[in-house]
Amino acid sequence: MKLIIGLGNPESKYAGTRHNLGFKVLDELAKKLNLVDWSAETRFKSELIKAPEILLVKPQTYVNNSGMAVKLLTTYYKLPATNVIVIHDELDLPLGKIKVRLGGAAAGHHGVESVINILGTDQFIRVRLGIGNLRTQSGEHKGQSISAEKFVLEPFIHSEKPQVKHMIKQALKALDLLLEKGLESAQNQFN
């Protein structure tokens, strides 16, 4: 079984923000697979959809504490970290760019850092979704200084939405490749 974990914040006020791309990708994956019923599982601190061979997971712990939910699930299902796929936003990638990789540093992403710290390893797969660098984004902050914490909690601006929609479709393709052909195939296409 593979755990496919989208990082995001649980409150509705965060639904359209950059930090909630992981949740958005999982919602689209669930639609694609005709899976509609997310169930709140308090013992796992998550919303889940169980399907053959995969478990879709939206941790309800807020992004920065995502590792708690991941640990509860990997322990319960007796899964190694290599069976975990984490989908998350990435400041260090241009808007719309996707990279798939196994392991590596958290690069300042507190949700990924939480998963690494609580699992005690970085050996899980990441689908990294580029949200752009706040210093180079077009729109209201161009040329201005804004904290990363504020930037990731903002919604995408209107002109970014077509790129975001395309990126989500590409993320679904990356997940298909990961599940059907493995890490190497996904990395070859999305790196």
Q: For 62-102, how does the pLDDT look when each residue is reduced to its tens digit (9 = 90+)? A: 999 999 999 999 999 999 999 999 999 998 899 999 999 99
Instruction: Report all structural domains of the chain as residue ranges with CATH numbers, in order of start.
Output: 2-189 (3.40.50.1470)
Is 88 marked active-site? Answer: no
Would you say residue 136 has pLDDT above 90?
Answer: no
Decide: residue 3, CB within 10 A, 0-12 exposed, 13-18 middle, 19+ buried.
buried
**Which of 136 and 120 is assigned the larger pLDDT?**
120
**Contact criterion met (CB below 8 Å) for 99 and 112:** no
Q: Rounded to whole angstroms, what are the CA distances from 145 to 5, 134, 142, 148, 150? A: 31, 8, 8, 9, 11
- Three-point CA angle 108, 19, 14, nearest 5°: 140
Helix (H, G, I), strand (E, B) or coil at 54: strand
Check pLDDT > 80 for residue 138: no
- Tell me, what's the pLDDT at 123? 97
The answer, yes or no, to whether residue 119 has pLDDT greater than 90, is yes
Residue 150's pLDDT is what?
Answer: 83
Q: Does the pLDDT value for residue 132 go beyond 80? A: yes
Tokens representing residue 127 in the block: 């689908």
Mean pLDDT of all residues in 119-144: 76
| pLDDT at 148 (0 to 100) | 82
Which of 19, 88, 109, 110 is an active site residue? 19
**pLDDT on residue 151:** 86
